[in-house]
Amino acid sequence: MSGLRTSRTRLAGAAATVALAALALTACDDGTGVESEGTAKPTGPTAAAPASPSSGASAPASSTPRNPKTPRNPSAPSAPSARGGTGSGRPAPSGTPVTCQGSTTRTVAAPLSRPLNHLLLTVTNTGGRSCHLYGYPAVRFGEAQAVPPAVEDSRPQAVVTLGPGESGYASVNLSAADGSGTDGRTENTLTVYFHGRSGDESVGTGAHPPLPANGVLVDDSVEVTYWQRSRDDAVRW
C-alpha cells in the first residue's frame, strides 16, 4: 500500500513539474520573442550593433545631402563664364572700368599721307576690363621736356571708353605744312603717356610705339587731338 502511494506521489510531482514548465513558457512567450528563459527569438534581419567610438572601428560612410544654400568661399576665384567671354580667349569684363595705360594697351604710331605731316595713334585695349581714355595723349618725342598742346576743337562730348579688344584714336600734327614752324628736328623715339581723370597727371606706364626707321620731322607747331572713338574723327584736324 505504501508503494502505491509513493508511485502516485511521484506521478503527481511529475505532472506538477510539466504544468509549471508549461506555465513558465506561456508567461515568457508574451510577444517579446522569447522561446525559453535567456533565449531570444529573432523577429527580422539581424542588425549589427554600431561600433563604439573607443573600439577603433571605422564608421560607415554616409551620404550628406547637397545644400544649395551653402555660401561659396569668398576667397575662391570664380571661373570665367563661357557666355561672358569676349570670343578671343580673354576673360570677360568685370567691375568698374579702369584708366587706360601702357601696360594694358597696345599703341601703334603710323605716319599719314593725308593730312600732311600727321601721325595717327591707335590704342587698343588688351586687358580684360574696360578702360577710359581721358583727355588727350601726352606725347614726348626724344628728350623733349614739354608736352604738346591739344586742339581744343577736337574735344569729344564724352570720355572715350574702350572695351576689351576695342581701339581709340588720336592724331599728332608733327610740323607746319607751310614750313612756318621753327626748331625743326628729326626724332626717332616716341613715348605716349595717359592722363588720369583729372587730366593734370599721367597714370601708370607709358607706351613706346616704334617710329619709321628714318624718324619723323617735328617742329614747335606740334599739337595733338583729343582721344576719339573713330579714326575719321581723329584725322579731321
pLDDT digits (tens, 9 = 90+) for 81-110: 333 333 334 444 457 899 999 999 999 999
Q: How many helices, marked H, and strands, marked E, lie in the chain? A: 2, 13
At 94 the pLDDT is 58
* Percent of the chain topping pLDDT 90: 53
| Residue 202 cell numbers, joined | 599721367
Sequential DSSP letters for 173-204: E-S-TTS---S-EEE--EEEEEE-TTSSSEEE
Tell me which of 19 and 94 has the higher pLDDT: 94
Residue 164 near residue 104 (C-beta atoms within 8 A):
no
Q: b/e per residue, 148-170, with b = 16+ CB within 10 A?
A: bebbeebeeeeebbbebeebbbb
Cα torsion 13, 19, 25, 28: sign: negative
pLDDT digits (tens, 9 = 90+) for 61-77: 444 444 434 333 333 33
Burial category of 105 from C-beta neighbours within 10 Å (exposed 0-12, middle 13-18, buried 19 and up): buried
pLDDT at 10 over 80: no
Residue 230 CB contacts under 8 Å (≥ 6 apart), including other chains: 169
pLDDT digits (tens, 9 = 90+) for 189-199: 999 999 999 88
What Å distances lie between residue 67 and 26, 70, 71, 72, CA to CA?
Answer: 54, 6, 9, 11
